[in-house]
A and B are shown apart, each in its own frame.
Chain A
Amino acid sequence: MAKELIKGNTAVAEAALRAGLEAYFGYPITPQTELLEHLSARMPEIGRPFVQAESELGAINMVYGAACTGKRVMTSSSSPGVSLMMEGLSYIAGTEVPAVLVDVVRGGPGLGNIAPAQGDYNQIVHGGGHGDYHMLVLAPASVQEAVDLTVLAFDLAEKYRNLVAVLMDGSIGQMMEPAELPPFQPLKTDIPDWAVRGTGGGENRVLTSINLDPPAQEVMNLRLMKRWQEIEKNEVRYKGYYLEDAEYVVVGFGTAGRISLSAVRAAREQGIKVGLLRPITLAPFPKDVLDELTEKAKAFLVVEMNAGQMLEDVRLVVRGRKPVEFFGRMGGVVPYPDEVLTEIERLVDGPLTTEGHPRDRWLARLSETIG
């Protein structure tokens, strides 16, 4: 299929539909709305359910119900809407049914604004909902990658009976880029054995997240954690750029990773041996490659569009063995490549330390800049 110029939100919507999305439930919120709008036209056109719910609570619980039938289902939203969905996400995780969530992230906290941000890292990667569960989290850095990861999301959700989130900065949702859409997949015809379908005669199935017997609940918890270990073993994805001889390593995902790549290239032109590690799966986090890089690199620079949420996961792997610095913009402010380049140069010029917290140093510098 030829590439076409297409907006991120629209591309993801069309990719999901072509991946065999059988039902969509959502609620309008900027900067995600084009996704819902596209499906509001396309799903009925091909005879599939589309429901604009009364709220994000409604939407995620419609997804929960439909997911219990084993069909391919999804919802999409943006940060405040996703906060509202946390209840449903926990229940879906607790019932072990597959579902896909697309979060087109905007500035926060609270209503914040509608500009691109990465402040949902913690609520998506480290829970948000109650109880012990993990979502598999995919973070695209381009419209094409958003398309490809959306298709992958459905396969992974079904493979592991696990929630999969596509964590997409508002910028990826809103920008237009050339992208190739996937071919049409037929709808699934097989119903998983566990799915409800309407069966009587003692063969009935029950899907629930309640288990009043603590030891039995603990067995379920253990099953979820073992499944997560399996996911950690099999599903780590990342992209490395100029890492072979890198003395300095920038770590950034999504839009921040993409902007950092421009800075890395500019630094390379200056002869700085710097590379980029761009995690594609934020959960499971690419720990092993980061651990290997810790052995080789002189120092790390973590770049995010938040106050250093992934930074903590990087620090857990680096464990003080090498200096880690941080650069972030918050509140919907998108960093320029020049700003990241300046940070790379600062890394090279030193002084570097493994003492203290990189966030404190960054906040001190930022305060001077933005007051």
Chain B
Amino acid sequence: MVMTDVPAKIVYERPEALDPRVTHYCPGCTHGVAHRLVAEVLDEMGETGNTIGVASVGCSVFAYNYFNIDFVEAAHGRAPAMATGIKRVYPDRTVFTYQGDGDLASIGMGEIVGAASRGEGITVIFINNANYGMTGGQMAPTTLPGQKTSSSPTGRDTKRQGYPIQTAEMLSTLEGSSYIVRRSLHSSREIRRAKQAIRTAFEVQKHGLGFSLVELLSTCPTNWGMSAAGARDWLEERMLPFYPLGDYKISPAVAELKI
């Protein structure tokens, strides 16, 4: 056996913030990727032991089972209010919500707009997969025009069912929001960009610069009725045109932030 003098170096391992257990998420679902990105960022920032997460109602209702950090579980849509309560009594802790599109953009629209407009110093990880995942793929506020779901079986008819909500664009109009961006989890390149955005969002909070939100376009192969690869393609072809990736709000203070 030839020994080399190159020392072994760990280049990839499970983040400390992530619990070593199998998730309940479907194969091909991007929740696992999003969880991992959040965990990596909290570890890299040294915030894992200083963070309180707020889980929401939806497929990520049990997100707290997968993180090694303090967590509370909110009522449907109310995570930003719960996070506000925690952040106000613990301003030096990192507080984040992890919410899906039904939770945040439908039933919880009041709470997210309230938190953003107050410039609440929390970070929101917003998973947009264009349907209600946990209840079996019903039409969500983010469902695309014409998209078939279990409650829009002939496709979303905009005459009867209206139009999807572009959350990042909408929240970016609020003076209280500081960092609002949309990223996607459909390719390695976009996943890396998503991680950078998540890092920036948490840095915004750590520096006391106000409300930060990262919208992550995500796949739901099971409810979309597609393979994992097919779902990634569908996201790229159908979701990206309606939900363009980009930075929708970078406040002047955030723009000066050096990471």
Residues of A within 8 A of B (CB): 22-23, 25, 49, 51, 53-55, 57-59, 61-69, 71, 73, 87-88, 91, 95, 196-202, 204-210
Contact = CB atoms under 8 A, between A and B. Distances in A.
A65 to B, nearest CB: 3
Q: Which of B55, B65, B74 counts the most A-chain CB atoms under 10 A from its CB? A: B74
A62 B84 contact: yes
Contacts of A71: 89
A257 B99 CA distance: 48
B252 interface: no
B50 interface: yes
A68 B51 CA distance: 14
B111 A54 contact: yes
Given A51-B84, A207-B73, A197 B90 contact: yes
Contact of B75 (A66, A87, A198, A204): A87
Contacts of A64: 72, 74-75, 78, 81-82, 85
Nearest to B84: A62
B73 A209 contact: yes
Interface string B156-185: 000000000000000000000000000000
Contacts of A66: 85-86, 88-89
A57 B80 CA distance: 11
Given A54-B111, A62-B81, A71-B89, A197 B68 contact: no
B248 interface: no
Contact of A208 (B17, B51, B73, B89): B73
A65 B69 contact: no
Given A61-B78, A62-B84, A198 B61 contact: no
- Pairs of residues from A and B, 4 with the lowest C-beta to C-beta distance, nearest first: A65-B85, A54-B114, A65-B82, A200-B49
A53 B52 CA distance: 21
A65 B70 contact: no
B90 A69 contact: yes
B110 A57 contact: yes
Contact of A61 (B65, B68, B70, B75): B75
Contact of A204 (B71, B86, B89, B94): B71
A91 B75 contact: yes
A25 B49 contact: no
B254 to A, nearest CB: 23
Nearest to B88: A49
A362 B222 CA distance: 61
Interface string B99-125: 000000000001101100110000000
A208 B49 contact: no
A65 B54 contact: yes
B148 interface: no
A204 B70 contact: yes
B93 interface: yes
Contacts of A87: 75, 78
A201 B16 CA distance: 7
Nearest to A69: B89
Nearest to A91: B75
B75 A208 contact: no
B89 A49 contact: yes
A196 B52 contact: yes
A23 B48 CA distance: 25
B211 interface: no
B111 A25 contact: no
Contact of A63 (B48, B72, B85): B85
B98 interface: no
A210 B73 contact: yes
A69 B68 CA distance: 17
A58 B94 CA distance: 20
19 contacts: A54-B111, A54-B114, A55-B110, A61-B81, A62-B82, A62-B85, A64-B72, A64-B81, A65-B85, A69-B86, A73-B89, A196-B86, A199-B69, A200-B16, A200-B17, A200-B48, A201-B49, A204-B69, A204-B70
A205 B88 CA distance: 19
A68 B151 CA distance: 36
Nearest to A63: B85
Interface in B22-53: 48-52
A208 B69 contact: no
Contacts of A202: 68
Contact of B111 (A58, A69, A73, A197): A58
Contacts of B78: 57-58, 61, 64, 87-88
A88 B73 CA distance: 12
Contacts of B90: 69, 197-198
